[in-house]
Amino acid sequence: MSVIVERAGFLTSVQDLGRTGFREFGVSTSGALDPFALRVANLLVSNDEAVAGLEITLGGLRLHFEDEQIVAWCGGEFDVRVGPKSLPSGRAAQVRAGEEVKFVRSQIGCRCWLAIAGGVDVSVVLGSRSTDLRALFGGFEGRVLRDGDILPLGTMPGSSSLATEISTWTAPHDWASPAKRDPVLRFIPGVDWNRFNAGSLRRLTSEAFAVSADSDRMGVRLDGPKLERVDNVDLISEAVAPGTIQVPPSGKPILLLGDCQTIGGYPKIGHVITVDLGVAAQLRAGDHARFSEVSLADALRLLVEREREFQRFRVGISLQSS
């Protein structure tokens, strides 16, 4: 089975939950910038949560399905249509043979993740089907999708069926639509927190930062109050990860995302907590974001609570499919 990319949109790529175990060799994690959204979408179509789907940026994607399929999506507030029907986020839908699925535009946020029953069946490279857009490998020929591409699909799970064209059950709203206007991103202080003066630390948590147009899957560049250090000592490059907030000499912070490098020499003022990375992935040029400090204990508690709720959601989905 396969699906035809009638129109590829602004930037669409094949992604799964990322490439782990190779960061020591300089290989980025890649994967969906909001892996939790992809996990939820996959469960909605009865996939294993790690199956590869599509990451769509700013819409414009149009897919033609030659065979009947089940699809679901989560992410920003997009106008999505299955044939003539509108498909809300967080719901599974039946796509008839010959129908199109269209992602028209986003009202809030900039990215969403489409799961197709059976998943996108591209080759596994270093343990993942994710596209590394900087190193040009993985995914579909190591690149973004283009008009006319034909994507191979895996075999639909035996339990993939719907009583109606669009499911009456849905995922929790904050999981299906994590994008927010003027979001507040929670963070824990970084290893270089004390290298910044008191005024900079105060500005970080009290003033808004604007998202620069010079942002991509590697990181979100932020314009706003300048963050100044108390020293000018050169730092040894150390490990960084998605969520790390680095501050270059310009004083304008960079929030790293999934395609970020594995080490960096800029001071690390903080790290956005895991449960807020999905919100960060929705930031687009012109948006504004604020930061709020939390403790490491709170960050862990929030993550554990979400995982506990996700397991309950998994059970609920299995009951719907049985």
CATH of the domain at 243: 2.40.100.10
Question: Does residue 133 carry a pLDDT above 60?
Answer: yes
Is 191 found in the same domain as 276?
A: yes
Residue 314 within any structural domain of the chain = no
State mean pLDDT over 50-70.
96
Is 217 found in the same domain as 118?
A: no
The residue from 178, 198, 233 where one domain ends is 178
| 220 and 257 Cβ atoms separated by less than 8 Å | yes
Residue 317 within any structural domain of the chain = no
Residue 294 has what pLDDT?
Answer: 98
Range of the domain at 7: 2-178
Is 191 found in the same domain as 167?
A: no
Using a 10 angstrom Cβ sphere, with 0-12 exposed, 13-18 middle and 19 or more buried, the burial of residue 253 is buried
Is 161 found in the same domain as 17?
A: yes
Is 174 found in the same domain as 188?
A: no
Is 276 found in the same domain as 192?
A: yes
Q: What SS3 class is residue 296?
A: helix
- Percent of all residues in the chain with a pLDDT value above 90, rounded to a whole number: 90
Does an H or E element contain 294, and which? none
| 82 and 99 Cβ atoms separated by less than 8 Å | yes
Is 151 found in the same domain as 68?
A: yes
Residue 312 within any structural domain of the chain = no
- Cα separation of the two ends of the chain: 24
State mean pLDDT over 250-268.
95
What residue spans of the chain are helical by DSSP H? 35-44, 173-176, 198-206, 277-280, 296-321
Beta strands 93-95 and 69-82, pairing class:
antiparallel
**Rounded to an integer, what distance in angstroms lies between the CA atom of residue 320 and that of residue 322?**
6
319 — pLDDT class (breaks 50, 70, 90)? confident
State mean pLDDT over 39-68.
96
Is 159 found in the same domain as 85?
A: yes
Residue 34 has what pLDDT?
Answer: 98
Residue 147 within any structural domain of the chain = yes
18 — pLDDT class (breaks 50, 70, 90)? very high
Question: Does residue 159 carry a pLDDT above 90?
Answer: no
pTM reported for the whole predicted model: 0.94
Residue 60 has what pLDDT?
Answer: 96
The residue from 178, 195, 213 where one domain ends is 178
Is 21 found in the same domain as 155?
A: yes
Which residues, other chains included, contact 276 with Cβ-Cβ below 8 Å and sequence gap of 6+?
Answer: 183, 185, 186, 187
**Count of domains observed in the chain:** 2
Q: What SS3 class is residue 279?
A: helix
Residue 39 within any structural domain of the chain = yes
Is 160 found in the same domain as 41?
A: yes
The residues pairing with 151 across neighbouring beta strands, listed in sequence order, are 3
State mean pLDDT over 196-223.
96
Is 202 found in the same domain as 101?
A: no
Residue 322 within any structural domain of the chain = no
Average pLDDT taken over every residue of the chain? 94
Question: Does residue 230 carry a pLDDT above 80?
Answer: yes
318 — pLDDT class (breaks 50, 70, 90)? confident
Helix, strand, coil fractions of the chain, as percent rounded to 5:
20, 35, 50
Please work out, in degrees rounded to the nearest 5, the angle formed at the alpha carbon of residue 35 by the alpha carbons of 30 and 40. 150
**Tokens at 115, concatenated:** 């799961």
Residue 91 within any structural domain of the chain = yes
Is 273 found in the same domain as 161?
A: no
Residue 320 within any structural domain of the chain = no
DSSP 63: E
The residue from 122, 151, 178 where one domain ends is 178
